[in-house]
């Protein structure tokens, strides 16, 4: 597995990959058949996960990344240091635009976001690389 642009070691990502894979199995994706799992780790090394949940009204679909971060917030954890997205696709799948905005809300600009797949490929970005000049809560003050 190759890592791009990461301060975390490969072994640091393994628990997130394992949890995101498990979550992808729970995805509700009867329309797209595109199963996604996500896992995030906070500063206390707790892991939170989520999967995508589709809806017949496609606009109401909720991505794995947003479900994962919502679960972390529900568990009173907002200090997320890294997030990983897992799919069974050959090409790595970065977060969509809506997820990038939500990620920018809960992770610092230098936090890491990774994409991994079943072929053991992986790419890592910072939040700032995924969403440069993000609209963040700091702009509201």
pTM of the predicted model, to two decimals?
A: 0.92
- pLDDT for 138: 87
d(CA 36, CA 20): 8
Q: Which of the residues are catalytic?
A: 65
Identify the structural domains of the chain with CATH numbers, from first to last: 10-140 (3.40.140.10)
Q: What is the pLDDT of residue 7?
A: 62
pLDDT of res. 137: 87
**E strands within the chain?**
36-42, 47-51, 80-87, 107-117, 122-126
In this prediction, residue 1 carries a pLDDT of 39
Q: What is the pLDDT of residue 3?
A: 43
* Average pLDDT for runs of 10 along the chain of length 141: 55 96 98 98 96 97 98 92 97 97 96 97 97 92 84
The pLDDT value recorded for residue 132 is 96
Contacts 24+ apart (CB under 8 A), 29-35: 29/54, 30/54, 31/56, 31/58, 34/87, 34/89, 35/87, 35/88
Rounded Cα distance between 128 and 36, Å, is 23
């Amino acid at each position: 597995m190759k890592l791009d642009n990461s301060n975390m070691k490969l072994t640091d990502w393994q628990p997130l990959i394992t949890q995101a894979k498990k979550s992808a199995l729970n995805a509700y994706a009867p329309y797209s058949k595109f199963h996604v799992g996500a896992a995030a780790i906070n500063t206390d090394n707790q892991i939170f996960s989520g999967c995508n949940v589709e809806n017949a009204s496609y606009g109401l679909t909720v991505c794995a990344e947003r479900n994962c971060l919502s679960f972390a917030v529900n568990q009173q954890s907002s200090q997320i240091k890294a997030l990983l997205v897992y799919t069974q696709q050959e090409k790595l799948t970065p977060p969509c635009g809506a997820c990038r905005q939500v990620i920018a809300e809960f992770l610092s600009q230098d936090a890491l976001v990774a994409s991994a797949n079943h072929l053991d490929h992986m790419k890592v970005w910072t939040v700032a690389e995924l969403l440069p000049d993000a609209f963040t809560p700091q702009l509201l003050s």
